[in-house]
Structure 1
């Protein structure tokens, strides 16, 4: 009798996961493997360089926060890889919720720190008095970001995220079913509007600044530190556009058309777009490799 129940549960798990078929799992395994290896190498190498140079700059302090965020995400990726390789979750429901939530927490915290770098560079260009930051100002800002983010994130995680009793302990990353709740729909739309508005605004300002610098410094703009600093900021905007915006753009379609019975294939695409957000962990390889030194 016990063997029959286990077999039935296992078959049910495989059936539910069939919406992410072998081809889907290979895409996710490949992407997460690249991010895990490349992200770990970049974080270790960048940490070594920062310790060696003992940089006290504002950007270096923010980058340190980003490395911490990347490290937390990278520690969670082996759990995801195990699930897609074995096609069964073996670590319990709480760990599933934790691993699933880390990827979203990482995305939004990283986004905030990217924006902090971009805004600090823009303020320096406009030569506002407020740009005379000391390192302790950035440390205080970092602490505030972590505290405010935790106050918002932790209650959602412990009280609402993935707490529906219908979720199976042998499945994971199926929490899109929570989108049936109005509160989660409002939260998702709010995050989409905030991110899209922020990115468009910063992109337009950043492009205007770069164009003005090109006009003023042509043809020797690459010899000027001010121009190179703005190009570095544009690099962070590109990371946001490539890694984060596709997920949020698709999220609008997903929320509007998702149905467990009719549009389950959307879950497959949603998982791939979620996985794409982790590719931002490769940013430190770009630093170390000299793409944005």
Structure 2
């Protein structure tokens, strides 16, 4: 009788296990273990978590190298960009479109650099974030927003130089757009629209939900499989946008360099013929900086985004995260190299920098004194301003030399080089 009672009380167990593939028989278990087995067995969990949920992306070997490198980028980038911004804003010089783009590029670099101390503190603190989820999203998205603003501005600079080289008359002096019944330089309109669209897109990126609740981690790999899948697609759009800008920069600078080299080769008697060749080489150097800083990161970015949307082994995801951190260093390094671009493209920055470094340094590298702004681009004789010829003739008369004849008018630039 006792046996029958025990069996009946344990009867639910074989029914519960009958639909399972586990090789466990209820008859081999005492009745006293049946209830405890059904309550504590790990096989009773049907909706287990994904295998990557507990995958750790805290690479201890990268903590200090990342902290040191970001600190170096912050110090040198801050000095270079503040110096350039001071020259742009407070020293008198010509207000051309390239100058407007360079000012905005320096501002974007400074905002990006302001995000680096947070990353340094995060890595020094053992990869633990203590400022909350909103601050984490704000710092991260500001970093990426200003990185793509810099990329877009570099694209605008290349486009502006190319259009001025190919254009005639008014196009060379500067294109204007009509907005609200008033004409504005296109550089102002482009920069205003760029900052406006970037700030509008920043807000939803900060407040958009993530797949996981916030812990104490920031700046690390995140899966994008449910709530935050839209962020992965948006990042994919940014990658395609970068490659479009990259193609535009390559084509623009290649055509600029080819035309400068052609002018210096076909018309060696022009006053600036020798400088045109060196200016072409500097254009390729700007393209080289852009490629080195942003190319590796965006070449690897599709792999990173694809891993966020798919399931993969923990070792593979850790490798993807580690590679992404290294590639991101190249992008942050651009904030240190942009002052080099200002030096090459702006006569004002170049003049003050050479005065600071000393004339001895400038004499050792005479090519640094060559004009490389839009004013150094060659212009056909038909586009030469009449006032410039008058100034040249008056200067020759004061020196006792003959004035230029109409057939001897040289090709000069439409804008005076920045002083």
TM-score (norm 1): 0.81
1:222-260 deviation per Cα after TM superposition (whole angstroms, max 9, x unaligned):
935666665555444323211112111111222334547
How far apart, CA to CA, are the structure 2 residues paired with 1:65 and 1:179? 36
User: What secondary structure, in the 3-state scheme, does the structure 2 residue paired with 1:177 have?
Assistant: coil
How far apart, CA to CA, are the structure 2 residues paired with 1:204 and 1:107? 22
Q: CA deviation at 1:284?
A: 4.3
1:50-88 deviation per Cα after TM superposition (whole angstroms, max 9, x unaligned):
212344121111111111111111221111101111112
Asked whether the equivalents of residues 141 and 205 of structure 2 are also in contact (C-alpha less than 8 Å), the reply is no
How far apart, CA to CA, are the structure 1 residues paired with 2:265 and 2:294? 33
1:71-106 deviation per Cα after TM superposition (whole angstroms, max 9, x unaligned):
111221111101111112122211111111122101
How does 1:1-293 map onto structure 2 within 5 Å?
16-18=56-58, 20-22=59-61, 24-50=62-88, 51-87=90-126, 88-128=128-168, 129-133=170-174, 136-137=184-185, 138-160=187-209, 163-168=210-215, 170-174=216-220, 176-178=222-224, 181-218=228-265, 223-224=272-273, 231=281, 233-257=283-307, 259=312, 261-263=314-316, 264-286=318-340, 287=343
The CA RMSD measured in Å over matched residues stands at 2.9
Aligned pairs, how many?
Answer: 274
Asked whether the equivalents of residues 73 and 335 of structure 2 are also in contact (C-alpha less than 8 Å), the reply is yes
Quickly say closer, same or farther: Cα 1:230–1:215, change in 2 above 3 A: closer
How far apart, CA to CA, are the structure 2 residues paired with 1:159 and 1:257? 20
Q: CA deviation at 1:270?
A: 0.8
How far apart, CA to CA, are the structure 1 residues paired with 2:81 and 2:258? 33
Highest CA radius of gyration, 1 or 2? 2
1:175-229 deviation per Cα after TM superposition (whole angstroms, max 9, x unaligned):
5323665433332222222211331243134223312321331396993566666
User: What secondary structure, in the 3-state scheme, does the structure 1 residue paired with 2:224 have?
Assistant: helix
1:131-161 deviation per Cα after TM superposition (whole angstroms, max 9, x unaligned):
432684122221111112222332223224x
Quickly say closer, same or farther: Cα 1:158–1:257, change in 2 above 3 A: closer
Asked whether the equivalents of residues 73 and 103 of structure 1 are also in contact (C-alpha less than 8 Å), the reply is yes
RCO greater where, 1 or 2, for CA within 8 Å and sep 6 or more?
A: 1
Q: CA deviation at 1:174?
A: 2.5
User: What secondary structure, in the 3-state scheme, does the structure 2 residue paired with 1:212 have?
Assistant: helix
User: What secondary structure, in the 3-state scheme, does the structure 2 residue paired with 1:218 have?
Assistant: helix
How far apart, CA to CA, are the structure 2 residues paired with 1:281 and 1:222? 35
Quickly say closer, same or farther: Cα 1:58–1:130, change in 2 above 3 A: same
Name the one with the larger helix percent: 1
User: What secondary structure, in the 3-state scheme, does the structure 1 residue paired with 2:218 have?
Assistant: coil
Q: Which runs of 5+ in 2 are unaligned?
A: 1-54, 177-183, 344-348, 355-367, 374-419
User: What secondary structure, in the 3-state scheme, does the structure 2 residue paired with 1:53 have?
Assistant: coil
Which residue pairs with 1:12 in the alignment? none
Q: CA deviation at 1:47?
A: 2.1
Q: CA deviation at 1:21?
A: 2.1
User: What secondary structure, in the 3-state scheme, does the structure 1 residue paired with 2:314 have?
Assistant: coil
| Stretch of structure 1 that moved more, 95-104 or 229-238 | 229-238
Q: CA deviation at 1:37?
A: 0.7
